[in-house]
């Protein structure tokens, strides 16, 4: 085979993406293809164990695994996907330290970008509810719980204390139930260390739209789970749903209001924005694929799998968004890419699932394995054993086994791991002769000079022209941000300079909310554009 | 003894503060005194092991311990100290969920607030150098290292790649040397997992003002340490110091410039701002105490210890800022407080130190224990054993022992634990009838109404008067922020309302940098104040 080396690009580092890269590494020889994977974090998350980060029964970094270790021959690009062009076979990813976007070209593309929690249709949810998908989310929830306990401990108003000790989880599927069970266990166990909270009641509320929780399993198992949760003090709100949230309460469809400072949402997810923009065959929000997991319309070029694809098994069942399915889809996609490269026949996806398991916390679980229903401690033990076996890498297996052993003996940890960050508006310092940004860079912030001087330089036909000198009180960088284009000039400091940096997101909010603020910059951009046009005209004339 | 129960307040949760509370719990009966401790985090940090968080050889939460578990009878107030009034025996702490400050009264006060890294005298340091004191700092450094590696792996420009792979640490004391050694080890070990970086050189630079590193130990031991570090590829820059930093380079006093994206500072610290404001006897920045650790001028009421106090032993030696000294100071302070309560004789502080130990990474260390100098693997082993024995709580001992055992077998972890936070300017949603803030609350942000309506209510002589109704596009909350006073009115929503919340810190930066922005709010505050004065005058007339 003397065909040139192929470029395979995998988007997304979840179960589907990482397992595809791992399978490709096994099937293909290095000289046949080079593999790239794009993911916003440098680690893969073992989603089914994520809830355990809340109580710390699995160490923070043990529930995840570095993608570079899992896929040793794959190049990781730790950026987010900004756009996909299926026609020119190009993917554009976000900038890093340098304000430049990166363009990646592919011969074969695997789209496995998963889902996002979509709060847009419920007022107040974006602002006040916590999603639960990433490691960062899990840490946020943990920190929020500890923060509410710390505040409740010094709070003198009993209503406020009750509000602080109420925790609401929306969504009664496996994910929601597991998160709620962990929250309930964790808060009840650590509150003994809060001298004033020992005798205070804790309220953990699970809101679910169906008549029973756990739609994934059969009725009998779900009822067992409900009984176990109620015995642990969980407040079940069935046939109701969350419709709005504020910083003080959760508001339900039935009109009921629950005063709380902590709302976690584990409702099923929507497609990520980059796929919403993608122009191809879709089933509702999800990418439509054929039995070989090829994207309809782009067969032999693009495969889609995991939560972002609408997949049906050979027998016509819709495939649920679980880890066991994602890993099997990955294997089929990898095989089919290899088959395409080698000119062989592709295989069909036909996995029907082995069973379902969900933790209820406090050493109990429910499981349905190949049709056998188990619950309680035995189910909990089976679930842990299976997940431990399935964790890739011996290293992580040992770490998790240690974590679990320690968690059996000792009470949960109550350390709050905060990364203190000040405001997003920040200051920067430059020494003389440094470049603030280059012509052609991405315009992602506006600068205000607090002190110092700089030159505005234009490169044209290989020559550098000095357009202007700026000093304390002057602004720059507004043009690219206002018009969403790249930088039209280079900024180089003359003297040591201190600047205030306003990121585009803050700038955009402020210019809408405070028109006088926006006008300052719009006016400036207008003047500068006019000057630029006049200059160009002068140059044209002088030729 | 029928004297009333005394209130003991400990400020600071480091070695000095936490050990004082622990000793007090042992010496005093619950009916003699109640103990409060104020700390900004809910955990105590085992400072000497903090550097190991960088490589992950100690689990992120194992190097710290929850204060509530260490001091079970002590009330923890997880806030920061805003001001101390020694005359009225009152301490004011920052607000929590509710925008109200908390006032704490004491009979006996222990000041153990430690130090802060002071960057103010070097241009660019606040903006571009990373401090290294808290758990958050250690995680930031770890994340920065991983980020630079990820970026270097996709970077095509060789100069930029070299810059990303250069790491600078300022300060050649134990703390700086340990941080540098950890960075050097970690980067060299994990870069094997970066396909494009395997053969790239890594540069770790240690900058120290003295002629040799480790001023804490004698010359021979310091030279041994230097030899070990140089063998590991560390670039030592002696008799030089960091004078400025930008996002692209470190600038030294000698004029040398080191292109880098990572500068960590471990230079000795300054007093925290709240103590700088405190009006009492000081030795340079530090609080002056007598031989019983009582604050000069406030004997029998206030004790000061740890890094923030200028302590001399009986033989006249200045006490260094180490854990072994802080724990002994804590014991003396606790004993003396008990003696004061019980009318007994106080004791003098006379601990002269047992020795010094510093890790050089990669299984080697230097130590000077009771005058015996050791180095290499044996010193490393002794150091670990001592720190493990000294770690309070059996729980943490087991966890750390497990961590170390795992770290011996497996390569360091390279997971980047990011807490993704958007902008500090945020949105909030309110339902009808909710209170945004109450009259008398702390004014810590300005609001812009994006949608919805609210009432401005004034409570006066027990009556509630409606001053105005606000709607989309209106601003509120500017008055308290501009004048740094508490809220002059209550805001209650009429209809569901979405607001943009600008925190005071951002607001202050923007109003200075963009005068037109500040003017909008200043003008509004002026009009509203005038209206308020007119209203008061009318009311006075109508009486």
Nearest to A246 among B194, B398, B431 (CB): B431
Residues of each domain in chain A carrying CATH 3.50.50.100 = 125-268+362-376+396-409
Nearest to A513 among B56, B160, B500 (CB): B500
Which run of H or E residues covers position B502?
Answer: strand B497-503
Q: CB distance from A73 to chain B under 8 Å?
A: yes
Q: CB distance from B6 to chain A under 8 Å?
A: no
Nearest to A193 among B69, B399, B427 (CB): B69
Q: Which of A138, A159, A417 to mutate to test the interface with B (most CBs of B within 10 A)?
A: A417
Q: Which residues of B touch A75 (CB under 8 A)?
A: 153, 195-196
Region of A388 (left: φ > 0; alpha: ψ -120 to 50; beta: rest) is alpha
pLDDT score recorded for residue B202:
96
Per-residue confidence at A543, pLDDT binned at 50, 70, 90?
Answer: low
Which run of H or E residues covers position A506?
Answer: helix A504-513
Region of A269 (left: φ > 0; alpha: ψ -120 to 50; beta: rest) is beta
User: In the sheet where A249-252 sits, what is the strand order?
Assistant: A242-245, A249-252, A257-259
- At B254-312, the pLDDT tens digits run 999 999 999 999 877 788 989 999 999 999 889 999 999 999 999 999 999 999 999 98
Judging by beta carbons within 10 Å of its beta carbon (0-12, 13-18, 19+), is residue B346 exposed, middle or buried? buried
Considering only CA atoms, which of B387, B505, B344, B482 is closest in space to residue B1? B344
Q: CB distance from A286 to chain B under 8 Å?
A: no
CB contact under 8 A, B424 and A425: yes
Q: Which residues of A touch B244 (CB under 8 A)?
A: 429, 431, 496
- Beta-carbon count within 10 A of B85 CB: 13
CATH number for A6-40+79-114+270-353 (one of 3.50.50.60, 3.40.50.300, 3.40.50.1580, 1.25.40.10): it is 3.50.50.60
pLDDT score recorded for residue B4:
84
- Provide mean pLDDT across the span A472-500: 90
Per-residue confidence at A422, pLDDT binned at 50, 70, 90?
Answer: very low
CB contact under 8 A, A68 and B249: no
- Kindly report the length of chain B: 543
Residues of each domain in chain A carrying CATH 3.50.50.60 = 6-40+79-114+270-353
Reply yes or no on whether the pLDDT at A249 is more than 50.
Answer: yes
User: In the sheet where A426-430 sits, what is the strand order?
Assistant: A426-430, A497-503, A445-451, A475-476
- At A442-461, the pLDDT tens digits run 888 899 999 999 999 998 88
CATH number for A125-268+362-376+396-409 (one of 3.30.360.10, 1.20.1070.10, 3.50.50.100, 3.40.50.720): it is 3.50.50.100
As given in the structure block, the two tokens for residue A455 are 């030159």
Q: CB distance from A100 to chain B under 8 Å?
A: no
The pair phi, psi for residue A286, each rounded to 5°, is: -95, 155
- Kindly report the length of chain A: 543
- In angstroms, the CA B281 to CA B293 distance is 13
B 438-457 residues with CB < 8 A to A: 448, 450
Q: Which residues of A touch B420 (CB under 8 A)?
A: 134, 136
CB contact under 8 A, A434 and B248: yes
Q: CB distance from A136 to chain B under 8 Å?
A: yes
Nearest to B406 among A155, A261, A399 (CB): A399
CB contact under 8 A, B434 and A248: yes
Q: CB distance from B1 to chain A under 8 Å?
A: no
Reply yes or no on whether the pLDDT at A206 is more than 90.
Answer: yes
- At A194-205, the pLDDT tens digits run 999 999 999 999
Nearest to A415 among B43, B247, B509 (CB): B43
Q: Which residues of A touch B41 (CB under 8 A)?
A: 416, 418
Residue corresponding to tokens 């990669």:
B362
Considering only CA atoms, which of A172, A246, A159 is closest in space to residue A203? A159
Region of A272 (left: φ > 0; alpha: ψ -120 to 50; beta: rest) is beta
User: In the sheet where B203-207 sits, what is the strand order?
Assistant: B129-131, B262-265, B166-170, B203-207, B234-237
CB contact under 8 A, B123 and A429: yes
Per-residue confidence at B418, pLDDT binned at 50, 70, 90?
Answer: low
pLDDT score recorded for residue B3:
66
Considering only CA atoms, which of B324, B495, B400 is closest in space to residue B50? B400
Which run of H or E residues covers position B53?
Answer: helix B52-55
Considering only CA atoms, which of A65, A54, A146 is closest in space to residue A400? A65
Angle, CA of B264, B266 and B268, to the nearest 5°: 150
pLDDT score recorded for residue B534:
79
Q: What is the pTM of this model?
A: 0.86
DSSP per position, B67-132 = HHHHSTTSEEE-S-EEEEETTTTEEEE---SSS--EEEE-SEEEE----B---TTSTTHHHHEEE-
Judging by beta carbons within 10 Å of its beta carbon (0-12, 13-18, 19+), is residue B291 exposed, middle or buried? middle
As given in the structure block, the two tokens for residue A340 are 């395409």
Per-residue confidence at A2, pLDDT binned at 50, 70, 90?
Answer: very low
What sign does the dihedral A172-A178-A179-A183 (CA atoms) show? positive
Question: Looking at domain B426-542, which CATH architecture does it have?
Answer: Sandwich (2.60)
Residues of each domain in chain B carrying CATH 2.60.120.10 = 426-542
DSSP per position, A511-535 = HHH-HHHHHHHHHHHHHHHHHHHHH
Reply yes or no on whether the pLDDT at B191 is more than 80.
Answer: yes
Cβ atoms of B80 and B41 closer than 8 Å: no
Reply yes or no on whether the pLDDT at B423 is more than 90.
Answer: no
Q: Which long-range contacts (CB under 8 A, 24 or more apart) does A432-435 make?
A: A432/A493, A432/A494, A432/A495, A432/A496, A433/A492, A433/A493, A434/A492, A434/A493, A434/B246, A434/B248, A435/A490, A435/A491, A435/A492
- At B103-114, the pLDDT tens digits run 999 999 999 999
- At A226-248, the pLDDT tens digits run 999 999 999 999 999 999 999 88
């Amino acid at each position: 085979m003397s065909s040139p080396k192929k470029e395979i690009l995998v988007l997304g580092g979840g179960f589907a993406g990482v397992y595809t890269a791992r399978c490709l590494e096994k099937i293909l020889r290095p000289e046949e293809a080079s593999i790239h994977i794009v993911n916003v974090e440098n680690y893969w998350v073992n989603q089914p164990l994520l809830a355990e980060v809340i109580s710390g029964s699995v160490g923070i970094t043990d529930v995840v695994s570095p993608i570079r270790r899992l896929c040793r021959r794959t190049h990781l690009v730790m950026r987010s996907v900004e756009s996909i062009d299926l026609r020119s076979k190009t993917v554009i990813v976000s900038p890093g330290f340098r304000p430049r976007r990166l363009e990646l070209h592919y011969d074969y593309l695997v789209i496995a970008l998963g889902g996002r929690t979509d709060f847009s249709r419920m007022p107040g949810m974006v602002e006040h509810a916590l999603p639960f998908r990433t490691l960062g989310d899990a840490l946020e929830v943990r920190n929020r719980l500890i923060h509410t306990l710390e505040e409740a401990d010094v709070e003198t108003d009993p209503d406020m204390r009750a509000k602080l000790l109420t925790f609401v989880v929306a969504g009664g599927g496996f994910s929601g139930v597991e998160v709620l069970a962990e929250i309930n266990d964790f808060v009840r166990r650590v509150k003994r260390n809060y001298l004033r909270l020992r005798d205070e009641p804790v309220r953990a509320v699970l809101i679910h739209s169906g008549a029973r929780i756990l739609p994934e399993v059969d009725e009998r198992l779900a009822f067992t789970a409900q009984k176990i949760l109620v015995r642990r003090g969980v407040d079940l709100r069935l046939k109701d749903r969350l419709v709005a949230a504020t910083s003080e309460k959760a508001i339900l469809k039935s009109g009921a209001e629950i005063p709380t400072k902590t709302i976690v949402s584990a409702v099923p997810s929507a497609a990520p924005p980059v796929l919403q923009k993608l122009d191809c065959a879709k089933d509702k929000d999800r990418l439509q694929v054929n039995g070989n997991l090829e994207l309809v319309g782009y067969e032999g070029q693009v495969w889609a799998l995991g939560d972002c694809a609408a997949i049906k098994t050979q027998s016509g069942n819709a495939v649920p968004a679980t880890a066991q399915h994602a890993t099997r889809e990955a294997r089929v996609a990898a095989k089919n890419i290899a088959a395409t490269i080698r000119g062989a026949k592709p295989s069909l996806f036909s996995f029907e699932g082995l069973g379902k398991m969900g933790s209820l916390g406090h050493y109990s679980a429910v499981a349905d394995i190949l049709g056998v229903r188990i619950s309680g401690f035995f189910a909990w033990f089976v679930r842990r054993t299976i997940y431990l076996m399935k964790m890739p890498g011996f290293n992580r297996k040992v770490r998790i086994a240690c974590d679990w052993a320690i968690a059996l003996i000792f009470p949960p940890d109550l350390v709050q791991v905060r990364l203190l960050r000040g405001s997003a508006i920040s200051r920067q310092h430059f020494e003389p002769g440094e470049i603030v940004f280059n012509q052609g860079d991405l315009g992602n912030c506006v600068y205000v000079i607090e002190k110092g001087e700089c030159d505005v330089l234009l490169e044209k036909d290989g020559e550098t022209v000095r357009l202007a000198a700026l000093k304390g009180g002057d602004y720059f960088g507004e043009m690219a941000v206002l018009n969403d284009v790249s930088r039209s000039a280079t900024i180089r400091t003359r003297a040591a300079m201190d600047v205030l940096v306003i990121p585009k997101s803050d700038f955009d909010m402020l210019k809408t909310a405070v028109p006088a603020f926006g006008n300052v910059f719009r006016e400036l951009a207008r003047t500068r554009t006019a000057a630029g046009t006049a200059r160009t005209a002068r140059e044209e004339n002088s030729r």
